[in-house]
Amino acid sequence: MNSYVERVKKTLQKRDPDQPEFHQAVDEVLMTIVPAIEAHPEFEEHGILERVTEPERVVQFRVPWLDDQGKVQVNRGFRVQFNSAIGPYKGGLRFHPSVNLSVIKFLGFEQIFKNSLTGLPMGGGKGGSDFDPKGKSDFEVMKFTQSFMTELNRHIGPNTDVPAGDIGVGGREIGFLYGQYKRIKNEFTGVLTGKGLEYGGSLVRPEATGYGLVYFVREMLATKNESFKGKTVAISGSGNVAQYATKKVNELGGKVVTLSDSNGYIYDPDGVDEEKWEFVMDLKNNRRGRIKEYADKFGVEYHADKRPWEKKVDIALPSATQNEVDKNDALKLVEHGVLAVGEGANMPSTPEAIDVYLKNGILFAPAKAANAGGVATSGLEMSQNSLRLSWTFEEVDQKLDAIMKNIHKEAVTAAEKYGSPGNYMVGANIAGFLKVARAMVAQGVV
Ligand code: NDP
C-alpha cells in the first residue's frame, strides 16, 4: 500500500468517523489510483489527495414547511460543493429519508471524477434532503421544494453550481425548484438541468442515464464480440434510470426480466415489452404506485422484500441505490453465469461484490463511467441554455452516444497504461482523477 494514500485515508477516518458511505467511495478511488499517484510525485507535493477529499464547501440548512394538515414539518437540506477545478459544481439533488451528510459527500466525491470523464467542463457537487416524497401530495411536494430553494438559491447559479435530479427528484420537483429560483432571483437562467422542454430543458435528458448505461455496456460487450441481442437482463429499480435502461435494452434486442422498488421485485420471463413498459411509466411517473401492481396486472412472479440478483440472467444493471448488490448477490450472479454487470445507480455494488466480479472475470462497468450519460447530457443542456438554442433529439442522442464511447475508450486506455488491462474501475478512476489533479496543480493551492 502506498504510504501517501494510507496517510490520507487515516486522516479522513479520524476526521469523520461517522461517514461510512463517504469512506467507501474514497477508498475505492484511492486504492485504484495508486499507480497514477506513484507516476506523478508532484501530486503529493501539491497535497492533491488531501484537498480532493475535502469539500470546498458544505452547506446544511433547515427546511421548514406546512403539510396538508397545516402542521409544521422540518427537514434537513444539504449542498456539498466538492470540487470546482474543472468547472462549476454540478450534481443532482436527492430527496430520500436515508439522506445524510455521509451519503451526500459520497455522491459529491464520485461526481468529481464522473464529470471529469465526460470531457465537459463541470466540477463536482451533490445535494438533497431527508424529505420523503413518497405518499406526499403534489401540494406538499411543492411547498417543501419551495422552502428548500428559498435557502439553496443563494448558494447556486449558472456559473457557480448547477444542480439536477437524482432519487426522488424528477421532472415535477425540478419544475417547482426552478419556479421558486426564478421568482426569488428574477432571472430566467440555466441554473438547474433536467428542466421541462417548455422552459429550457434538453431533449434526451430524461433518457440519458439509462440510455448512456446501455451504450456503455454495449461497448464493453463488443470487446468480447458480444451484444445485447438475445440476452436476458436483470434491472433493479423502476425509476428514471431503470425505465430508460429498459427501453434501450429492448431497442438493442435484449430482454429485461426484472424491475424492482424498495418493496420487492417482479420477474417477467417474457420480458418488459413496449406495452408493459408504458404501464410502468404511467405507474411510476403519474400514479406513483408500487411495482407489485405490475405483477398483479400481468400475472407474473412478485418477490416481496427481495432483490432481483437471485434470478439467472446474462447481464445485470443495478439501477436503484447504493450497496444493493452484496457479496452473496454477486456470487449468485456468478453461479448463474452472468456475463456483465453495469452500474446504473451510484455505488450499487459493495466492495466485496466488486471483488467477486473481478476475480471471476465478469465484465464490470463501474458507476462513474457507466452512468455518466446523465450528467453529460446535463452538460449539453447547459450548453444549449448558454447558446439559447435547442438541439434535436437525434443531435443530443448522437452526442451522448459519442461521449459514452469516448468514456469507454478512456477507461480502457488508462487501465492498460497503468497496468490493469480490462479493469474498468481502475481505468475510469485514473482517467477521471488525472484531469482534475492536473487542473488543481495548475491553479495553485486553493
Ligand atoms: P428514482 O427516484 O427515479 O428511482 C429510484 C428507484 O430506486 C425507485 O424504483 C426506488 O424505489 C428504488 N430505490 C430507491 N432507494 C431504494 C432503496 N433504499 N432500496 C431499494 N430500492 C430503492 O431515481 P433515479 O432512477 O434517478 O436514480 C437511481 C440511481 O441512479 C441512484 O443511485 C442515482 O444516484 C443514480 N443516478 C441517477 C441519475 C439520473 O440522471 N437520474 C444519474 C446518475 C446516477 P422506491 O420508489 O420504492 O423508493
Predicted confidence at residue 265, as pLDDT, reads 98
End-to-end CA distance of the chain: 28
Q: Do residues 211 and 373 touch, judged by C-beta distance below 8 A?
A: yes
Q: Which of 45, 46, 121 is nearest to 83 (CA)?
A: 121
Instruction: Compute the distance from residue 236 Cα to the ligand 1 centre, in Å.
Output: 9
**Nearest C-alpha to atom 19 of ligand 1 is from which residue?**
262
Please identify, by atom number, the ligand 1 atom nearest to the C-alpha of residue 170: 3
> String of b and e for 323-339 (b: at least 16 CB within 10 Å)?
bbbbeebbebbbebebb
| Separation in Å, CA 117 to CA 86, 186, 264, 385, 431 | 11, 34, 34, 22, 7
Instruction: Compute the distance from residue 216 Cα to the ligand 1 centre, in Å.
Output: 19
Element (H, E) at 327: helix 327-335
Specify the CATH number of the domain 3-188: 3.40.50.10860
Predicted confidence at residue 419, as pLDDT, reads 97
**Ranges of each domain in the chain:** 3-188, 208-365
Task: Decide whether 3-188 matches 208-365 in CATH topology.
Answer: yes
Spell out which residues line ligand 1, taking CB within 6 angstroms.
Answer: 165-168, 170, 209, 237-242, 261-263, 319-321, 344-346, 371, 374
In the DSSP assignment, the letter for residue 125 is: E
CB neighbourhood size of 407 (10 A): 30
**Nearest C-alpha to atom 38 of ligand 1 is from which residue?**
166
**Nearest C-alpha to atom 44 of ligand 1 is from which residue?**
345
What value does the CA radius of gyration of the chain take, rounded to a whole number of Å? Answer: 21
CB neighbourhood size of 38 (10 A): 14
Pocket of ligand 1, candidates 117, 216, 261: which has the most ligand atoms within 8 Å of its Cβ, to mutate? Answer: 261
DSSP secondary structure string for all residues of 35-95: HHHHH-HHHHHTTHHHHHTS-SEEEEEEEEEE-TTS-EEEEEEEEEEEE-SSSSEEEEEEE
**Nearest C-alpha to atom 47 of ligand 1 is from which residue?**
262
Number of separate helices (H) and strands (E) present in the chain: 18, 12
Instruction: Compute the distance from residue 333 Cα to the ligand 1 centre, in Å.
Output: 21
Please identify, by atom number, the ligand 1 atom nearest to the C-alpha of residue 96: 15
Instruction: Compute the distance from residue 237 Cα to the ligand 1 centre, in Å.
Output: 6
Element (H, E) at 411: helix 393-417
Pocket of ligand 1, candidates 112, 134, 166: which has the most ligand atoms within 8 Å of its Cβ, to mutate? Answer: 166
Distance CA 63, CA 57 (A): 19
**Nearest C-alpha to atom 7 of ligand 1 is from which residue?**
320
Instruction: Compute the distance from residue 191 Cα to the ligand 1 centre, in Å.
Output: 23
**Nearest C-alpha to atom 4 of ligand 1 is from which residue?**
239
**Which cell is 371 given?**
452512468
Predicted confidence at residue 335, as pLDDT, reads 98
Instruction: Compute the distance from residue 384 Cα to the ligand 1 centre, in Å.
Output: 27
Please identify, by atom number, the ligand 1 atom nearest to the C-alpha of residue 168: 2
User: Is domain 208-365 annotated with CATH 3.40.50.720?
Assistant: yes
Predicted confidence at residue 1, as pLDDT, reads 76
10-residue stretch averages of pLDDT, the chain, 446 residues long: 94 97 98 97 98 98 98 98 98 98 98 98 98 96 98 98 97 98 97 98 98 98 98 98 98 98 98 98 97 98 98 98 98 98 98 98 98 98 96 98 98 98 98 98 97
**Nearest C-alpha to atom 37 of ligand 1 is from which residue?**
166
Instruction: Compute the distance from residue 47 Cα to the ligand 1 centre, in Å.
Output: 35
Catalytic residues: 126
